[in-house]
């Protein structure tokens, strides 16, 4: 059964708002983060993982369960930390292929979404050695003094630092090999932000 649309359009009939429907494999951080930047012109609706089903296939299934209009954009926000190892790689790759076929955009982060958050505060040259999600979260704690993904602080993620993160992430991503599944640390959340900022 398909779920209703997550956004009520303006009652006056004008489409002056845009909707990005983003499904993620995280329960806490992405929704809080994007809520910091909501405005009337562009709205980002984040579909969280609330049942522990964080595999990419389940994330895609949740995204497909939401109705959307032609002008809306749908995105998968995925980490690679555990999903590209051993027996998980085939399913992960298959999900990315299905998403492409359905016109869904994908923003991968290796190792995790916290790398994107970290780039709000450090240069891209300082993140290459972070091997796992835990390392990345520890680095965030070191930089911010604290980090709890269940309680992000808005003051840590200003519009100015987001613009800096976009520049750093794009520069970092330009050095990465491996194509769709990167061989080294990167975050492609900047691609989602570029799409958001390009909407009239």
Secondary structure (H, E, C), 63-101: HHCECCCCCCEEEEEEECCCCCCCCHHHHHHHHHHHHHH
pLDDT in tens, 113-144: 999 999 999 999 999 999 999 999 999 999 99
What's residue 108's pLDDT?
95
Enclosing domain of residue 81: 18-198
Can you give the pLDDT at residue 42?
82
How far apart are the C-alpha atoms of 78 and 96, rounded to whole Å?
10
pLDDT band with cut points at 50, 70 and 90 for residue 49: confident
In a domain? residue 2? no
> Which residues have CB under 8 Å from 160's CB, separation 6+?
none
Q: Is residue 113 part of a domain?
A: yes
Alpha-carbon torsion, ordered 127, 194, 45, 117, to 10 deg: 20
Query: Is 97 within the bounds of a domain?
Result: yes
Q: Is residue 150 domain-resident?
A: yes
Task: Report d(CA 84, CA 73) in Å as an integer.
Answer: 26
pLDDT of residue 14: 35
153 domain-assigned? yes
Two tokens, residue 18? 């845009």
Give the model confidence (pLDDT) of 12-35 as tens digits. Answer: 433 446 799 999 999 999 999 999
Please say if the pLDDT value at position 76 is more than 90: yes
pLDDT tens digit sequence for 59-70 = 999 999 998 998
- Is 33 a domain residue? yes
Q: How many domains does the chain have?
A: 1
CA 173 – CA 64 distance, rounded (Å): 28
Res 10 pLDDT > 50? no
**Lowest-pLDDT range, 69-78, 84-93, 118-127, 154-163?**
84-93
Extract the tokens encoding 101: 């076929």
For residue 175, CA distances in Å to 88, 103, 126, 128 come to: 25, 26, 14, 11
Average pLDDT value for the chain = 88
In a domain, 5, yes or no: no
In a domain, 8, yes or no: no
Q: Tell me the mean pLDDT in the region 174-179.
A: 92
């Amino acid at each position: 059964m398909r779920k209703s649309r997550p956004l009520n359009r303006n009652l006056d009939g004008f489409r002056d708002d845009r909707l990005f429907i983003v499904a993620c494999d995280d329960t806490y951080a992405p929704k809080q983060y994007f809520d910091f930047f909501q405005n009337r012109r562009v709205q980002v609706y984040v579909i969280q993982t609330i049942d522990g089903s964080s595999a990419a296939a389940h994330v895609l299934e949740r995204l497909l369960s939401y109705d959307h209009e032609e002008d809306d954009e749908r995105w998968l926000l995925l980490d690679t930390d555990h999903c590209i190892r051993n027996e998980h790689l085939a399913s992960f790759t298959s999900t990315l292929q299905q998403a492409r076929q359905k016109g869904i955009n994908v923003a991968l982060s290796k190792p995790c979404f916290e790398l994107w958050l970290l780039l709000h505060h450090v240069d891209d040259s300082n993140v290459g050695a972070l091997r796992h999600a835990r390392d990345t979260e520890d680095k965030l704690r070191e930089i911010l003094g604290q980090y709890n993904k269940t309680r992000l602080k808005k003051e840590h993620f200003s519009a100015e630092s987001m613009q800096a993160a976009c520049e750093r992430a794009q520069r970092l991503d330009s050095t990465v090999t491996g194509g769709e599944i990167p061989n080294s640390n990167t975050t492609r959340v900047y691609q989602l932000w570029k799409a958001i900022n390009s909407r009239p």
